[in-house]
Amino acid sequence: MIATIARQGLLFVNVLVAAVWLPMVMNLVLDLRNVRSIILHSLVSSQFLFIEYVPYWLRDSLTDEQPEFREHGMVHRTEGRTPISRETFENQLPFIYSEGMRLRGLLPVTMNGREFDLDALRRGKTILGVTPADLTRPDLYPPLHALLDARPDRVSLTFPEDRFRLRGGLEFINADTNAPDQKLSEVFNQALAQAGFNFPARAAFGRDMILKPWDAGWFLLDARGGLFNVRRLHDKPDVRQVALPPDSRVAHVQAQESRDRNMAGLIVTADNEVLLLLADMTVRSLHCPGYDPHRHDLKVVLDPVGETCVFDDNSRATALRRPTGEQGPVTRLDLDVPSGGMGPGRIASWLLTPVRLDPTPESTVFVDPTLSVGGLWSLLGSLCWGVVGAVCAGRGRGQGQALSGLIWGALGGVAGALAAWIWRPEA
């Protein structure tokens, strides 16, 4: 019995290690990296432009006139999928590549009847974003936050001598004595109560950093779903309620202060709507239908003329463009990510390793082991290697050993079947 338990434990360790490392090795050897496409909107040509990575098994589709594309696989295209050079691509996106256009002597540039120099291009662009990993941070990060003094008369931001945490309300901890500051806590909690905050506080959203153009403070979610902004000015509380649309339930606030001091970040609601949070604590709805915050990376690009929402995952990218404000026509572009398809290399990989353990999935910045399978190809691989493992382990040794080989072969693929054959009872 002890020998049987030890053998099964050894097989389990073999399969576990193979489920983590074998897919990494195969991805490296077979060049199975997944590179997401980048979509941007050009005010120069009034269309979407994008960059996509063409994996090696699709590069035969590139014409002979594109040898530079064949070498690295990165292709710049127009909305109609016409390949263009990198320089042409950058020249049509002055808000993104303003410095490159300056070096080429192409500034100032005229768009929509307006002339933009280098400074106007830099000030006219704002990029905000949310990733699935951002939604996991409030619960996983240490619950002590810094409420900076956002004094406008200071050149730079500095960290305070205290931190706060949620204990029904705000509880400030002095960093020098590591003891609660009752007086400061009462001052801020009274300010919250006077602003209409309903205790207890459910969540806090903000950025613990001083490398930002200004400080929007922290955003607290109260017991009834109201969202309140808390700032510290001259060591005194400044509390304002965010004007949310009716029936909106906040799921996440991504605080991102813009350089022009007009935008404070993005709000994602429980209904997967995206709201632009302005510096005056009002919000504006962004047009992002189909966005799933737990699956997609979101980028919001704002310029003087319109707003572009781009969200994507490993297999598909979507971009929507709308003139500034909530009215106007919406243009849309949907793309399949070439490197997200199966392809012969990825099919072989899933056949050899049908069940995988990813220690660091894209949905979080922390170690979070996650099992994954590859659909039909994983099923075929499990059946194939399960039979191989059963035959190798059970030949002349009874049904028990055959069943063990079947299970470990189905779970571990080629590594499981090989381990079942190597670690036979007589071995």
* Count of domains observed in the chain: 3
* Helix, coil or strand: residue 299: strand
Considering the domain architecture, whether residues 246 and 363 belong to the same structural domain is answered as no
pLDDT digits (tens, 9 = 90+) for 141-187: 568 899 998 877 676 888 899 999 998 889 999 988 889 999 999 99
- Which amino acid, one-letter code, is at 352? L
Flag whether 427 is in a domain: no
Quick one: average pLDDT of 39-57? Answer: 89
Residues 268 and 392 in one domain: no
* pLDDT at residue 19, rounded to an integer: 87
**Strand, coil or helix: what is 268?**
strand
**Residue pLDDT, tens place only, 88-111:** 999 999 999 988 888 889 888 888
Residue 147 CA to residue 220 CA, distance in Å, equals 12
409 or 151, which is more confident?
Answer: 409
If asked whether residues 13 and 39 sit together in one domain, one would say no
Higher-scoring residue by pLDDT: 424, 254: 254
Same domain, 93 and 116: yes
- 57 and 107 share one domain: yes
Residue 311, pLDDT above cutoff 90? yes
Let me know whether 329 and 401 are in one domain: no
202 with 221: CB under 8 angstroms?
yes
CA neighbor of 204 nearest in space, from 229, 172, 232:
229
* Domain-located, residue 279: yes
Assess whether 150 and 269 both reside in one domain: yes
Average pLDDT of span 342-358: 87
Is the distance from CB of 364 to CB of 136 less than 8 angstroms?
A: yes
As a whole number of angstroms, the distance between CA 312 and CA 228 comes to 30
Considering the chain, what is the average pLDDT of its residues?
A: 86
Whether residues 7 and 111 share a domain: the answer is no
* Domain assignment of residue 280, yes or no: yes
**Residue bearing tokens 């979610």:** 221
**What are the Cα distances from residue 302, in Å, to 145, 257, 262, 319, 351?**
29, 13, 11, 13, 44
Question: pTM for the full model?
Answer: 0.82
Q: Indicate if 133 and 266 belong to the same structural domain.
A: yes
Q: Is the peptide bond before 293 cis (omega within 30 degrees of 0)?
A: no
Q: Worst-scoring range by mean pLDDT, 77-86, 181-190, 355-364, 374-383?
A: 355-364
Does 147 share its domain with 16?
no
Domain membership of residue 168 (yes or no) is: yes
In a domain, 40, yes or no: yes
Beta strand 227-233 with 236-241 is: antiparallel
Long-range contacts from 78-83, C-beta under 8 angstroms, 24+ separation? 78/45, 78/47, 78/48, 78/49, 79/47, 79/48, 79/49, 79/50, 79/333, 80/47
Range(s) of the domain holding residue 325: 35-124+303-336
| 168 and 105 within one domain | no
